Amino acid sequence: MRKKWLWALLIVIVLISLIGGGKMFMDKRKKKKEKLESGKRQSVELLKKKFTDIKKVDIERTGYNKMTGFYRMVVKMTNTEGRTARFDYGYVKKQNELSTIGLVDEKVPKKGDYN
């Protein structure tokens, strides 16, 4: 009978440690996601200051290098006239500046434009 209680206690301890480890993992993942979202938001604000007449900015891909604090974004930007452009740019959060803006695609094809 005593061995059963010891096994039950051991199982409970293992389950509690697994749950605690899972929570730490989820908290770390949530913090990383919040940091990425913050970088996206701040970089789009700087983008809107740099270019006039921006109607919409869609972020297609995002990357972050935690060693350097450098964000890389690929966006599709639409102006108030309806013209779109796809480009990538870098963003350094500590310096609060955009860097290396490179055009990916000036004209985004519409439905039916594919060859």
Residue 39 neighbours by CB distance under 10 Å: 19
Separation of alpha carbons 70 and 92, rounded Å? 5
Q: Is the pLDDT of residue 50 over 70?
A: yes
Query: Is 48 part of a structural domain of the chain?
Result: no
Query: Is 64 part of a structural domain of the chain?
Result: yes
Query: Is 112 part of a structural domain of the chain?
Result: no
Query: Is 29 part of a structural domain of the chain?
Result: no
Query: Is 15 part of a structural domain of the chain?
Result: no
Provide the domain limits for residue 67. 54-106
Instruction: Order across the sheet with 84-92: list the strands.
Output: 54-65, 70-79, 84-92, 97-105
pLDDT, mean of residues 65-75: 86
Q: Is the pLDDT of residue 112 over 50?
A: no
pLDDT, mean of residues 69-98: 86
Query: Is 94 part of a structural domain of the chain?
Result: yes
Q: Is the pLDDT of residue 109 over 50?
A: no
CA angle 78, 51, 41 (to 5 degrees): 75
Number of domains in the chain: 1
Whole-prediction pTM: 0.61
Separation of alpha carbons 115 and 100, rounded Å? 31
Separation of alpha carbons 104 and 54, rounded Å? 18
Query: Is 61 part of a structural domain of the chain?
Result: yes
